[in-house]
């Protein structure tokens, strides 16, 4: 489908109009999921369809559309069943510009709203994709990475003086659609790699630096690129593998 920022905004407005007006503290934790699902398929008759012992978010003429707002841990078994008979698109939202909205857990009132210094680019998808690494590159599986400006609501119920450490996330509310990055083949992954990504050989520590990732996140993200066939191992120097981008 062709993506339309105006139509996405209309879906946000429709959700806001129908949501209960009981205060910000009672936001539905599936707000983001619901808006994205309506954006991809406005007819609710095609929502929540039982298939192969699972429930698919959307089943329509495009195949199966799974909106995955959390991690990909639970996806593998479901996708293995679906991909036998259907084309599947996994939609993964990433916060492009994000504000953290802090809520008093007792009154439900907004205490503060801060802009996060991080800007989502889509590279965040790689870490999650590594959780379904055996399915990456399947001819019937594709991904839509949605870069969305959003507010992330958190309850001030954590630890520390300001009660922000390990505070529970209450909801994520989309404000605007920035871009949709379609991953239909390994070549599409170029869209989420930084422009300065090395064209020649590189080591893991260089990957960490250019991707601005560390440790486990960087390792799993690199593994996803390997499984997609976007990166290959071309040698070894002492105990360090040498990699090369091949897309």
Q: In the predicted model, what is the mean pLDDT of residues 75-98? A: 96
Do residue 88 and residue 178 come from a single domain? yes
Which residues have a Cβ under 8 Å from the Cβ of 74 and sit 6 or more positions away? none
Other beta carbons within 10 Å of 131: 15
Question: Residue 212's domain spans which residues?
Answer: 195-247
pLDDT > 80? residue 170 = no
Do residue 174 and residue 57 come from a single domain? yes
pLDDT > 80? residue 212 = yes
Do residue 54 and residue 163 come from a single domain? yes
Q: pTM of this prediction? A: 0.91
Do residue 79 and residue 46 come from a single domain? yes
Q: In the predicted model, what is the mean pLDDT of residues 139-160? A: 90
Do residue 96 and residue 180 come from a single domain? yes
- Total tally of structural domains belonging to the chain: 2
Q: In the predicted model, what is the mean pLDDT of residues 2-23? A: 84
Do residue 54 and residue 141 come from a single domain? yes
Coil, strand or helix: which one is 235?
strand
Do residue 205 and residue 185 come from a single domain? no
Coil, strand or helix: which one is 44?
helix
Residue 38: band (very low, low, confident or very high) from pLDDT cuts 50, 70, 90 = very high
**Domain CATH number, residue 235:** 1.10.10.10
């Amino acid at each position: 489908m062709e993506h339309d920022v105006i139509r996405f905004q209309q879906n946000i407005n429709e959700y806001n109009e129908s949501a209960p007006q009981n205060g910000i503290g009672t936001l539905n934790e599936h707000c983001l999921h619901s808006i994205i699902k309506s954006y991809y398929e406005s007819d609710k008759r095609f929502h929540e369809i039982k298939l192969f012992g699972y429930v698919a978010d959307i089943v329509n003429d495009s195949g199966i559309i799974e909106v995955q707002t959390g991690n990909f841990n639970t996806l593998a078994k479901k996708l293995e069943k679906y991909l036998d008979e259907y084309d599947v698109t996994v939609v993964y939202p990433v916060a492009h510009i994000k504000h953290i909205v802090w809520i008093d857990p007792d009154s439900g009132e907004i205490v503060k709203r801060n802009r996060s210094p991080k800007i989502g680019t889509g590279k965040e998808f790689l870490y999650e994709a590594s959780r379904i690494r055996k399915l990456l590159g399947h001819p019937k599986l594709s991904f839509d990475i949605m870069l969305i400006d959003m507010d992330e609501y958190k309850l001030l119920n954590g630890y520390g003086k300001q009660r922000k450490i390990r505070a529970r996330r209450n909801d994520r509310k989309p404000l605007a659609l920035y871009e949709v990055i379609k991953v239909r083949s390994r070549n599409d992954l170029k869209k989420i790699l930084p422009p300065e990504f090395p064209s020649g050989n590189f080591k893991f520590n260089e990957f960490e630096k250019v991707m601005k990732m560390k440790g486990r996140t960087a390792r799993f993200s690199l593994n996803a690129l390997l499984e997609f066939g976007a990166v290959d191992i071309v040698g070894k120097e002492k105990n360090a593998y040498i990699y090369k981008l091949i897309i």
